[in-house]
Every structure is written in C-alpha cells, then in structure tokens.
Amino acid sequence: MKLFSHVEQMGHEQIVFCCDKESGLKAIIAIHDTTLGPALGGTRLLPYEKEDDAFNDVLRLSRGMTYKAACAGLALGGGKAVIIADPSQKSEAMFRSYGRFVESLNGRYITAEDMNTNVANMDHIRLETRYVTGVSAGLGGSGDPSIMTAKGVLYGIDASVKYRLGKSELRGIKIAVQGIGAVGKHLCKMLHDRGAQLYVTDIDDQKLKQAHSLYNATIVTEAELYALDVDVYAPCARGSVLNSSTIPKLKAKVIAGCANNQLEDEEKHAKILKENKILYAPDYVINAGGLINVANELTGYNLEKVESEIARIANTLDSIYIEADKLGLTTQEAAKRFAEKRIQSVANLKTMSSFKHSAIGNIIK
Ligand code: NAD
C-alpha cells in the first residue's frame, strides 16, 4: 500500500503507529482534521485480518468524525483509533500502554469508546492520560451515551417526518426499527411514548418479545422489514443496509436511524434514494447525540446544555434538507457541504501572531 499518497488523498494531518510488545498493543491513531479543535473519536478494537484493513478503517472512520463533529456544532476535530486485537486479548496493561501513546499527543487526540471497547477500558486509559472521555461516573463520566444518541435520532425523525410528510407529530406514524440494541431499545420507548406504530426486527428473539410486550411492536423478519408499507425506516443495527438490493424494495418515505455507514456506496446509493423521493437523514448528522454527550464531559458535564445541543440536530437536518433541495444535491452531499463550510470558515480566520507563539519567541527567551 502507498501509505503517504493514501493519507494525502484523504487529507489527514497525522497518523501514529503504536506498538508495545509487552502488552500486545498494536494500534493506529489517525488525526484527520483539527481546524475546529482537538480530534475526538473512539477507539475500535477488532481482530483485523490484514493490517491494511485496519489502516483503511481508521482513515475512513477518522475522516467521518471530522464531518460528524462539524455538523454537531462542536469545537472539535475528527480522529479515531483502532487496536488490532481479539476482544479476548483485552487487558489493563494493553489499555494503559495505549493511554500513554494518547498522552504523548498532548491533547491533539481525545479518545472514547467504540466497537469492543467500554467504560472499564476507558477508565484504564484514564490512569495514563486525561485525554479520554466516556469514563465511569466515579471518574466524572456520564455513563452509557446510547440514550442520548436515541434522543438525537428521535429529534431527527421529527424533523424528517415534518419535512417529507408535512406532519408535526408522530402519533399514528408507522416506523420500522431495525435493531433493538443499546440505542434501538431507547428509541422504541420514545417513539411508543409519542404514539408511533412500531415494527421491529432483530436477530435476538428475546429483544423482539420484549419490544412486542412493552411497546405493542409488530415483529417482522429482516426481509419483510425492507418491503413494509411504513412511513419511516430506522436502521439501528449495522452498516451497508442501504444498497442495490434493499433500496428497490423500500416503501418508506423517510430513512432516519442511528446505524453508522448506512449507505453501502455513499454517492451511488444516496443518489438512488433521492431519485426514489426517499428522504435520507445522513447517519453522521442524526446519530451525533452520543458524541455530543461525551464531548460535554470534557468541559464539565451539564445535562441541560447536552439536551439543548442534541435538540439542535433537528435544525441542522432541516438546513441540510433545504440546501439539498435548493441545489439539487443528495442529502449526503448537502451534509458534507454543511460540514466543510463550517470548517473552512474557521480555517479562513486571520492569524493573530504573538511573541510567545511565534518563531522568534521560540528562539529568544
Ligand atoms: P448494539 O450492538 O447494542 O445493538 C445492535 C442491535 O442490532 C442488537 O440488538 C443486535 O442483535 C441487532 N442486530 C445485529 N444484526 C442485525 C440484523 N442483521 N438484523 C437486525 N438486527 C440486528 O449497538 P448500538 O450501540 O445500539 O448501535 C447500533 C448502531 O448505531 C451501530 O451501527 C453503531 O455503530 C451506531 N451508533 C451507536 C451509538 C451509540 O451511542 N451506541 C452512537 C452512534 C452510532
């Protein structure tokens, strides 16, 4: 693989390879863009088959975090890290070793949970660096962010239903939720409380039975779910669910859910959705509630402030939908423009030099 040309093409600032034989740590930290602030993004732990896969994943994910933070209005940039390991290899030593690498970056990168890493792992990282968020309540953390992600998705569904269907409440709206996990279960409760009619699918029968008894949700198979005559489809399980085989089956007018990387091919499938008059809420905009939550831990957690920042997701989506319609873009393209415009506006700020931070200041003591 041509490392530098790949990094240059994706626009990253810095890539850090972390290796510690004693603890078995093999990690890559990717800092994509720090124009808006230090790079924040979770640490994903996976037994990648090839090192190239880990490298590509961390480049793609960190770039996504730049757009996500920019759209969420946070003073943060985008970064991400991957640890190449099987979850069974996790240990205190591995995370403390990793924490030392994070510390060495002096706050340019702040980490958090992601796939296969949890609050306990963040607590171990916290022993070595303060540049970690999503720690336990005892260390000043705010706990599992999934409920905040669900809230953001609820506001996003509100905004999307209003924009596409002209309805200002969810009572009687038919919504298909795919995946009743950490986020999906909270979302189902919130939607049920708002009077929506739910259809659910999951690979876990227990979760389905619970959703049926608690929220009167109709249980369907994954294949049935795509073809359901519903108003909203909320993907809350896994990525790549919007592809050439599923999109032609969809009857929903709105797609709004928390899953990451919902479009198998960002350009092609966003375009087909637009042609089919299906309003797609870009995933990194609607699922930013969790990020907003952990970001607030950094400045002293204030629930009221978090809630109001999450509520803003609805306004952001609205602006993106209006811009997409005005310029004939897909909502995915409009979201990217929204993020890039904000980053560029800060990048364009006039440099204000001072003695302390100037080249001459470094020479003359
Ligand atoms: P989770 O693992 O708790 O839940 C996923 C659920 O999907 C599980 O109940 C699982 O059984 C189910 N599932 C898996 N494969 C399925 C399939 N083929 N069909 C139907 N159901 C299936 O994960 P989560 O934390 O709820 O996150 C869900 C998605 O949202 C992920 O893509 C995640 O990256 C994204 N996300 C989560 C958060 C958060 O705060 N947790 C924030 C942003 C984005």
- Say if residue 151 is in the same domain as residue 131: no
- Of the three residues 137, 161, 195, the one that is the final residue of a domain is 137
- Say if residue 93 is in the same domain as residue 156: no
Is there a domain that residue 42 lies in?
A: yes
Q: Where are the alpha helices (DSSP H) in the chain?
A: 3-10, 51-71, 92-104, 119-126, 146-165, 182-193, 205-215, 222-226, 266-275, 283-286, 289-297, 303-327, 331-347, 359-363
pLDDT of residue 365: 62
SS3 299: coil
- Say if residue 76 is in the same domain as residue 158: no
> Residue 112 is part of which domain span?
3-137
Cα 325 to middle of ligand 1, angstroms: 30
pLDDT tens string 195-223: 999 999 999 999 999 999 999 999 999 99
- Of the three residues 137, 166, 183, the one that is the final residue of a domain is 137
Q: Is 241 annotated as a binding residue?
A: no
Q: Is 314 annotated as a binding residue?
A: no
Nearest-atom number in ligand 1 for the CA of 261 is 32
Question: Mean pLDDT across the chain, nearest whole number?
Answer: 96
pLDDT of residue 356: 77
Residue 319 structure tokens: 């602006």
- Say if residue 305 is in the same domain as residue 210: yes
Is there a domain that residue 361 lies in?
A: no
Where in the sequence numbering do the catalytic residues fall? Answer: 80
Residue for token digits 């049920």? Answer: 192
What's the total number of domains in the chain?
Answer: 2
Nearest-atom number in ligand 1 for the CA of 149 is 40
Q: Is 182 annotated as a binding residue?
A: yes
Rg (CA), the chain: 21
Which of 183, 294, 310 most suits a substitution to test ligand 1, by most atoms within 8 Å of the C-beta? 183
Is there a domain that residue 349 lies in?
A: no
pLDDT of residue 311: 98
Which of 208, 238, 285 most suits a substitution to test ligand 1, by most atoms within 8 Å of the C-beta? 238
Q: Is 184 annotated as a binding residue?
A: yes
DSSP secondary structure, 162-224, as one string: HHHH--S--TT-EEEEE--SHHHHHHHHHHHHTTPEEEEE-S-HHHHHHHHHHH-PEE--HHH
pLDDT tens string 105-120: 999 999 999 999 999 9
- Say if residue 125 is in the same domain as residue 160: no
- Say if residue 91 is in the same domain as residue 182: no
Is there a domain that residue 235 lies in?
A: yes
Q: Is 143 annotated as a binding residue?
A: no
Which of 202, 220, 262, 263 most suits a substitution to test ligand 1, by most atoms within 8 Å of the C-beta? 202
Is there a domain that residue 34 lies in?
A: yes
Here the CATH number for the domain that contains residue 45 is 3.40.50.10860
Nearest-atom number in ligand 1 for the CA of 146 is 40
Measured from CB, residues less than 6 Å from any atom of ligand 1 are 145-146, 149, 178-184, 201-204, 207, 222, 236-239, 258-260, 287, 290
Is there a domain that residue 296 lies in?
A: yes
- Say if residue 232 is in the same domain as residue 325: yes
Query: Which of 180, 291, 158, 308 has its CA nearest to residue 232?
Result: 158
Is there a domain that residue 283 lies in?
A: yes
Cα 360 to middle of ligand 1, angstroms: 52
- Say if residue 62 is in the same domain as residue 210: no
Nearest-atom number in ligand 1 for the CA of 148 is 40
pTM of the model: 0.93
- Of the three residues 137, 160, 191, the one that is the final residue of a domain is 137
- Say if residue 249 is in the same domain as residue 114: no
Q: Which residues of the chain have pLDDT under 50?
A: none
